[in-house]
Amino acid sequence: MSELPALATYALRLGDDSLVLSHRLGEWVTNAPQLEEDVALGNIGLDLLGQARTLLTYAGEVEAAGRSEDDLAYLRDERDFRNVHLVELPNGDFAVSMARQLLFSTYQLALYDQLQASVDDTLAGMAAKAVKEVDYHRDHATQWVLRLGDGTETSHRRMQDGLDRVWPYADELFATDEVEQSLVAEGVAVDSSSLRAGWDGYIDGVLAEATLTRPEGLRTPPGGGRRGIHTEALGYLLAEMQHLHRAHPGASW
């Protein structure tokens, strides 16, 4: 992928986060602990898919090379995706997925809350609509982390294991770079590193109430999703997500 305008890159980053996590949540449908949870996770996934559609369409418009949302979602290869590693992690058990959702939705809520004030009308409009959705996503994940963490001995152990599994990937959410900073200076983007303190405060509160231990240490992954360097999980996810469109271009129903 040739060098994109900073704004297109930024829209792709946010859009890919939502798109990839949406696919992961879709994998839970028919596999969640109860039918009600199938519907809940499906709803959250569809909220994220709606955000991704707006953001990928916008990235295509800014790029002005004629790529549609479908072109960007289905015809890019792994190295052209700009999502963080956290959202591409395999679902694991329910506790892993709830831990991932808590860490991500807490970040995304803080991000969208500030993005509403962007001077870019499309980003501000998307954020204003999505902030209410994500508020619920965070609440849903919080409720489960509290119940599993402060539940039985087994649920506590598995919730702590789930948290430990995804925790190392949280650091990447708050990494900023020159692309983002150039847009922050124009009042378009939110400085990711500024979201850290609020995120820590909320997460620490939930973990304390859930009697969970905050894992030690974070790592900054080499390369990083924002630059197209991904874990091995993303390739498999894309193979499944893109297969139909690549086999039958333009298929719809």
Partner 1 sequence: MSESSAERDWPLWEVFVRSRRGLNHQHVGSLHAPDAAMALRNARDVYTRRSEGVSLWVVPAAAIVASSPDEKDSFFDPAADKTYRHPTFYEIPAEVQHL
Contact residues toward partner 1 (CB under 8 A) are: 34-37, 39-40, 43, 136, 139-140, 143, 147
End-to-end Cα separation, the chain, in angstroms: 30
In the complex, the smallest distance separating the C-beta of residue 41 from partner 1, rounded to whole angstroms, is 9
In the complex, the smallest distance separating the C-beta of residue 144 from partner 1, rounded to whole angstroms, is 8
> Which of 2, 154 has the CB closer to partner 1?
154
> Which of 67, 156 has the CB closer to partner 1?
156
Joined tokens for residue 195? 């979201």
In the complex, the smallest distance separating the C-beta of residue 147 from partner 1, rounded to whole angstroms, is 7
Contact in structure between 150 and 209 (CB atoms under 8 Å): yes
> Which of 36, 121 has the CB closer to partner 1?
36
> Which of 38, 78 has the CB closer to partner 1?
38
In the complex, the smallest distance separating the C-beta of residue 143 from partner 1, rounded to whole angstroms, is 6
What is the C-alpha separation between 100 and 221, in angstroms, rounded? 17
> Which of 35, 247 has the CB closer to partner 1?
35
In the complex, the smallest distance separating the C-beta of residue 203 from partner 1, rounded to whole angstroms, is 20
Contact in structure between 129 and 182 (CB atoms under 8 Å): no
In the complex, the smallest distance separating the C-beta of residue 154 from partner 1, rounded to whole angstroms, is 10
Count Cβ atoms within 10 A of the Cβ of residue 205 and give its class: 0-12 exposed, 13-18 middle, 19 or more buried.
Answer: exposed
Contact in structure between 115 and 192 (CB atoms under 8 Å): no
> Which of 43, 122 has the CB closer to partner 1?
43
In the complex, the smallest distance separating the C-beta of residue 133 from partner 1, rounded to whole angstroms, is 12
Place of tokens 């990937």: 169
> Which of 25, 189 has the CB closer to partner 1?
25
